Amino acid sequence: MAGVNIRSVAKTFGETQVLKRVDLDIRDGEFISLVGPSGCGKSTLLRIVAGLEQQTEGHILLDGKTVDRLRPRDRDLAMVFQSYALYPHLTVAENIAVPLTMRRLSTLDRSLMGGLLPAARAKRKDIAAEVDKVCEALSISMLKDRKPAALSGGQRQRVALARAMVRKPSAFLMDEPLSNLDAKMRVQARGEIAALHRQLGSTFIYVTHDQAEAMTMSDRIAVMMGGEILQLDTPDHVYQMPQDLRVAEFIGSPKINVVKAMHTKDGVLAVARGETPGQSIHAAFRPEAARLAGEAEAPLAGIIHHVENLGADLFVQIRLDGGDDLVIVRCDPAGVRPVIGDRTGVAIDHARLHAFGPDNRRIDGSFRLEAAQ
Amino acid sequence: MSLSASQNRAGLALIAPAAVLGLLFLIAPLASIFVLAFTDYQLGDRALNFIGLENFHALGDDPVFWRSLSNTLIYSAVVVPGSVLLGLISALLIDAGTSLRSFYRTAFFLPVMASLLAMAVVWEFMLHPSFGIVNAAMKALGLPPHNWLKDGSIALYVLAVIGIWQSFGFNMVLFMAGLSAIPRDLYDAAEMDGTPNAWDRFKLITWPLLAPVTVFVAITSVIRSFQVFDTVHALTQGGPNKATEVLLYTIYAEGFEFFRSGHAAAITVVFIMLVVGVSMLRFLSLKKNGASA
């Protein structure tokens, strides 16, 4: 059990700066997701915590102690890789046993001579028992004698989890462990990993580019972009109170709607038409914070471009007047079905309207969006 | 699945070129060797007589043949482990290094591509008893000089060292290809799993995953070492006193210097049996690997 502290960690590869002085304090037992588009530095940060990569600057603390100079072996962490990284020539049971045999058995114990040493035999027996227990817990006991090549993607993923769990590490590091699974398996595995976290109570650091994985499993999400953490918050806050336009755009599906606007007077944003003089503001609202309305009472209007019917929701794409901008509005399929090609207005729930400045940062305060003048 | 007559004809037409060439250049010469081995044919004769196993009986009583066979096996026993091990070590070192990788790769591969006959001249100079660099180095180190190629007790081993020098680069390239096929993630996983040192990671990952490549490399090395000829021909001509007489050189001498074609054919048959035997090992190992994967 350990908290993880990342203290102004920077990493450069040659000329490129991959991480720019990242600070992150992860509490003991917390499930934290590092989420961001590929190339944002999230995997590099995880590898630095693991010790597989050395930071250029800054410190990593595990359980309050600096581990910068410790090898991965001595950091008491376990990692699940995107490719699972199972040893292809070993059986499932042997794969899971590796972290234990490598740590508990001496070189002599592991040599051919080891079979003759009673102490080594006793240790091997203990290891086998622990492997059995982990297999039991993840219900992969029937796979113990198979080679990884004979397993399905979901089974491999469980074996990789089992190999990480068997040593009872103080924290788990997961590098996109679900991205090689098909969509259905992924949803199931999400639930399983979250359940595992509740049951083990260990610290989980989970790297993903899939915002849905981050939203559904984490206690807190760190949204990373361009080598920095843009926002660190609970899933609810990240979704409802994004501190940066890029966070707002990255989290949520379908994407948040963004409309350029001018700050006319206190708390009022006017929709901007075409090129705007001076500094414009981004007004953003999620599809569920808007509804189709009469043109007269709505700040935005346009032509219905497409209707996506997902069964439970209708997502209506509207091409706004005076530009190519699309906004998406969620509708109830039980209501009146919008017709493609019709004109409509878009009304916005102003309590859920966000404003972001030209620097992409959130502007606090409550705003109304009004039609262009 | 049954094929229509026209499909059958098309199939036959498509294999025909390969079949004809194979028959002409592989099967026919092999068959004539096997026939010649049972005759008393000498190059230039107008007629030949079948003499049954006489040639093979003669081989059994021929000390030169036995010397030649045992020399070939000794040569192989030195060159195969030497070139496989050196190939593996150099591949691992180059793979682990970060700079000059392609330079080392090219440098070590050069002897494979260079004509061994031309290289043999260089070796002859280097090994020359009075002005060779090797003896000069031995002297500088306070060691007794040797007449490397004329001393019957060491000449074969000197040729074996040249053989290793010549062939390990080829093995190295094969090992490097094998190494590049091992996913890097596995080494990261091994690091997380607590392997204490590089040797343990080698034992856990590299060696087992390289096993199919190693079998392939070992078997091709055996076959290539059986085929040693050019260094022997250029440097020692089988001497001194048959100390470096190897199978291929004996075949050459019997067939093209003494014109005893039947005799040479009999040795060739023995040689082919050896190579086929080793190739069978490779086939079996491939089958075993295929079944377990």
A330-339: pLDDT as tens digits: 998 888 888 8
In a domain, A90, yes or no: yes
In a domain, A250, yes or no: no
Task: Note whether A126 and A10 are same-domain residues.
Answer: yes
| Cβ–Cβ contact A41 with B under 8 A | no
Q: Measured between alpha carbons, how far is B184 from A117 in angstroms, rounded to an integer?
A: 34
Closest CB to A102 among B183, B194, B209:
B194
Q: Are the beta carbons of A81 and B185 separated by less than 8 Å?
A: yes
Helices (H) and strands (E) in chain A, counts: 9, 20
What pLDDT does B293 receive? 39
For A302-337, the pLDDT digits (tens) are 899 999 998 889 999 999 887 778 899 999 888 888
Q: Which residue out of A77, A82, A86, A89 would a mutagenesis test of the B interface target, given it has the greatest number of B Cβ atoms within 10 Å?
A: A89
Task: Note whether A212 and A308 are same-domain residues.
Answer: no
Q: B214 to chain A, minimum CA–CA distance in Å?
A: 15
pLDDT confidence band for A118 (50 / 70 / 90) = confident
For B191-222, the pLDDT digits (tens) are 998 888 888 889 899 999 998 899 889 988 99
Instruction: State whether residue A357 is helix, strand or coil.
Output: coil
The pLDDT of residue A153 is above 60:
yes
| Cβ–Cβ contact A26 with B under 8 A | no
The string over B214-252, giving b where at least 16 C-beta atoms fall within 10 Å of a residue's C-beta and e elsewhere, is bbbbbbbbbbbbbebebbbbbbbebeeeebbbbbbbbbb
Q: Report the candidate in B203, B183, B205 with the shortest Cα–Cα distance to residue A85.
A: B183
Q: Would you list the domain boundaries of chain B?
A: 53-292
Task: Note whether A105 and A160 are same-domain residues.
Answer: yes
**Whether the predicted interface score ipTM is above 0.90:** no
**Beta bridge partner(s), residue A57:** A10
What pLDDT does B292 receive? 45
- The total of structural domains in chain A comes to 2
Helices (H), B149-260: 155-180, 184-192, 198-201, 207-226, 230-231, 247-252
In a domain, A31, yes or no: yes
Q: Which CATH number fits domain B53-292: 3.40.190.170, 1.25.40.80, 2.40.110.10, 1.10.3720.10?
A: 1.10.3720.10
A–B interface: beta-carbon pairs under 8 A:
62
Q: Which residue of B has its CA nearest to A79?
A: B192
In a domain, A32, yes or no: yes
Q: Report the candidate in B234, B24, B259 with the shortest Cα–Cα distance to residue B149.
A: B234
Closest CB to A99 among B188, B193, B293:
B193
Q: Report the candidate in A202, A176, A181, A198 with the shortest Cα–Cα distance to residue A80.
A: A176
Q: B83 to chain A, minimum CA–CA distance in Å?
A: 26
Going by DSSP bridges, is the β-strand pair A281-285/A257-265 parallel, antiparallel, or unpaired? antiparallel
Task: Note whether A226 and A111 are same-domain residues.
Answer: yes
Q: Are the beta carbons of A85 and B189 separated by less than 8 Å?
A: yes
Domain boundary among A245, A269, A300: A245
Query: How many whole angstroms from its chain centre is CA A327?
Result: 25
| Planar angle of CA A222, A284, A263, nearest 5 degrees | 120
What pLDDT does A274 receive? 62
| Residues of chain B scoring pLDDT < 70 | 1-2, 288-293
The pLDDT of residue A275 is above 70:
no
Decide: B187 and B205 in contact? Cβ < 8 Å.
yes
Residues 61-80, chain A, touching B (beta carbon < 8 A): 71-73, 77-79
Contacts of A149 in chain B (CB under 8 A): 293
pLDDT confidence band for A236 (50 / 70 / 90) = very high
What pLDDT does B1 receive? 59
Which pTM value belongs to this model? 0.81
For B97-133, the pLDDT digits (tens) are 878 888 888 888 888 888 777 888 888 888 877 787 8
What pLDDT does A103 receive? 84
Closest CB to A73 among B185, B191, B292:
B191
Element (H, E) at B143: none
Give the best-scoring range by mean pLDDT among A134-148, A229-243, A270-284, A320-334. A229-243
Domain boundary among A192, A222, A245: A245
In a domain, A112, yes or no: yes
Task: Note whether A206 and A78 are same-domain residues.
Answer: yes
Nearest-10 crossing angle of helices A92-104, A118-137? 130
Domain boundary among A245, A274, A298: A245
The pLDDT of residue A354 is above 80:
yes
Task: Note whether A228 and A301 are same-domain residues.
Answer: no
Going by DSSP bridges, is the β-strand pair A343-348/A300-309 parallel, antiparallel, or unpaired? antiparallel
Decide: A7 and A60 in contact? Cβ < 8 Å.
yes
Element (H, E) at A18: strand A16-26
Contacts of B196 in chain A (CB under 8 A): 73, 102, 107
Q: Are the beta carbons of B205 and A87 separated by less than 8 Å?
A: yes
Task: Note whether A262 and A169 are same-domain residues.
Answer: no
Instruction: State whether residue A91 is helix, strand or coil.
Output: coil
Average pLDDT over residues A108-120: 76
**A336: domain CATH number?**
2.40.50.140
Task: Note whether A263 and A223 are same-domain residues.
Answer: no
Task: Note whether A325 and A346 are same-domain residues.
Answer: yes
Closest CB to A79 among B192, B195, B293:
B192
Q: Are the beta carbons of A81 and B188 separated by less than 8 Å?
A: yes
Average pLDDT, chain A: 88
Q: Measured between alpha carbons, how far is A266 from B99 in angstroms, rounded to an integer?
A: 62
Q: Report the candidate in B219, B139, B200, A132 with the shortest Cα–Cα distance to residue A124.
A: A132
Higher per-residue confidence, A118 vs A241:
A241
| Cβ–Cβ contact A107 with B under 8 A | yes
Task: Note whether A269 and A211 are same-domain residues.
Answer: no
| Planar angle of CA B206, B211, B212, nearest 5 degrees | 130
Residues 160-189, chain B, touching A (beta carbon < 8 A): 183, 185-186, 188-189
Task: Note whether A64 and A151 are same-domain residues.
Answer: yes
| Cβ–Cβ contact A106 with B under 8 A | no
List Cβ neighbours of B56 (8 Å cut-off, separation of 6 or more): B37, B266
Average pLDDT over residues A269-295: 80
Average pLDDT over residues A292-296: 85
Q: Tell me the residue range of the domain where A287 lies.
A: 255-370
Q: Measured between alpha carbons, how far is B18 from B2 in angstroms, rounded to an integer?
A: 23
| Cβ–Cβ contact B209 with A under 8 A | yes
